[in-house]
Amino acid sequence: MSMLILGLFVAGAFFIQAFMAFFQVRNFARNYHQVRQAGRVLIGKNPRRFRAGSLMLVGLDQEDRIGEIRIMQGLTVFSRFREMPGYEGMLIAELGADYEKLQKMGRTQRECLLNAYRNYVNYKTNNLSFEDFDTSGPNMLSLPVFSAVGSKLKQSVSGFKQHHTRMDKLE
């Protein structure tokens, strides 16, 4: 009986979290739409697994001047976007290269803005890569340990195939 109650509790918590995540995604869509009304939007992200992450919307006009910056920071689904005043009218390239202004920002805000600036530079230089569109965060299988294991596995498989093709020719 206690396992059933525990299972129901876990399932209920999962559904409540999914329900709240729906409202957070709706909040993102509404804020993105509002910023998009004024021009282009850069998105900077700083995903974290066990610490507060952040997501930034940077609205740009036709001359690449910042119209507004909105940021969502937090660890839970209760996080909402808030405005970051004081950057309106600055060129995104100037802000991305201004060490003093970047140091006045919090660490997660700075990392988010630099990610948005990197996306801007990659877009302007036609250098967008898959990672610029990847929203899944770090891939565990791309870590060096797994890469080494993968290359060893590929070597053994190719050696196995070569051995069997030689054996087939002898028969």
Render pLDDT for 51-64 as a digit per residue (tens, 0 to 9): 777 889 999 998 98
What are the start-end ranges of the E strands in the chain?
40-46, 53-60, 66-74, 81-83
Q: Are 44 and 102 spatial neighbours (Cβ–Cβ below 8 Å)?
A: no
Are 130 and 148 part of one and the same domain?
no
Are 121 and 153 part of one and the same domain?
no
Are 81 and 43 part of one and the same domain?
yes
Are 117 and 154 part of one and the same domain?
no
- What value does the mean pLDDT take over residues 38-47? 87
Alpha-carbon distance of 57 to 44, in angstroms, equals 7
The answer, yes or no, to whether residue 159 has pLDDT greater than 70, is no
> Which residue intervals of 37-143 are DSSP H helices?
92-97, 99-104, 107-124, 130-133
Are 17 and 96 part of one and the same domain?
yes
Are 34 and 64 part of one and the same domain?
yes
Q: Are 85 and 104 spatial neighbours (Cβ–Cβ below 8 Å)?
A: no
Residue 163: give the domain boundaries.
142-171
Three-class DSSP category at 39: coil
- What pTM was computed for the model? 0.67
For residue 50 the two structure tokens come to 């066990």
Instruction: Tokens 């910056």: give the residue.
Output: 69
| pLDDT at 96 (0 to 100) | 85
Are 29 and 78 part of one and the same domain?
yes
Instruction: Tokens 């250098």: give the residue.
Output: 127
- What value does the mean pLDDT take over residues 42-70? 86
| pLDDT at 69 (0 to 100) | 94
89 exposure class (CB count in 10 Å sphere: 0-12, 13-18, 19+): exposed
CB atoms under 10 Å from CB of 165, counted, come to: 9
Are 13 and 43 part of one and the same domain?
yes
Q: How many domains does the chain have?
A: 2
The answer, yes or no, to whether residue 11 has pLDDT greater than 70, is yes
